[in-house]
Structure 1
């Protein structure tokens, strides 16, 4: 589920402060060395907290990574208000661009990529793409079951975004141009019953 803003407001400010310290420390460490090389001790030293405080918030560094990716990607979606939008081709194209750019940033900010990191990024990003698509489809209707359409399209968007980021050509299209090119493929995958006016 997308985070309920009221729930977020009710969190104790001290808890939010500590989590922010942990997240900042973790993000900095990801930029300096690979996820596998990061230890809980590295995180606690950088955040200037003790191990007990860390474990009061996260059971291990894998849970922290999952939360970190979830929060950062959600912030990108909220920046573009995609989590609160309705379906339109413009919004769908913006979603594709957001995923392309997020994957590119994740690859840049993590010094040494590994399979666990990439798998976690894929899982968290696809989950949030699917949630947004299910919301959009539920308002428009589809020729196939909503979850099926959203799941298939989330895989398509993530796969295409990954392809774009792995393209090493010097003349590869920009994320906006690429998103516009693949838009018909993603749109058709949604099996929408009708077109809505573009926002």
Structure 2
């Protein structure tokens, strides 16, 4: 289990898998297709290892907000944590996530919500191609370029299998201790405001 409880508040999950290189299904809506019939279709899209290992892309994860569920507009009141130390391990974008609110702690430790989903903006390029991963050839209709991460969402079930907190949801954790640490951080923050 890669869990650290910080003395000043916050829970850090290290080495969390956020997003994998390879073929992922996206809707026509996500691809920006304008025809109504195409918006509801699903297409195989390719995220290359080169795009995910790009230094500006990985640097954009520094301080990226973590929220509960996906939102089109993320405001300060939605932020439950942040990411740091993003890197690409050859297959996955991996980062450390610091959670800072009781709400997200309860989702994780009480309700066992551990899947992650990264909202990424980019430009889809129509490209019929194939790639091979783990000896399996996969066809794709689009490839993504100019990727920019927007936020990380904690979900019950994410789209990319394996994208999750590096944490065993059945592990025993002292939730009262974590809540007390979050309360101390809030009190200090309110005094400083």
| TM-score category, normalised to shorter length | under 0.3
Query: What TM-score results when the alignment is normalised by the length of structure 1?
Result: 0.24
Query: What TM-score results when the alignment is normalised by the length of structure 2?
Result: 0.25
Pick 1 or 2: higher relative contact order, CA cutoff 8 A, min separation 6. 2
Q: Relative to total residues, which structure has the larger helix share, 1 or 2? A: 1
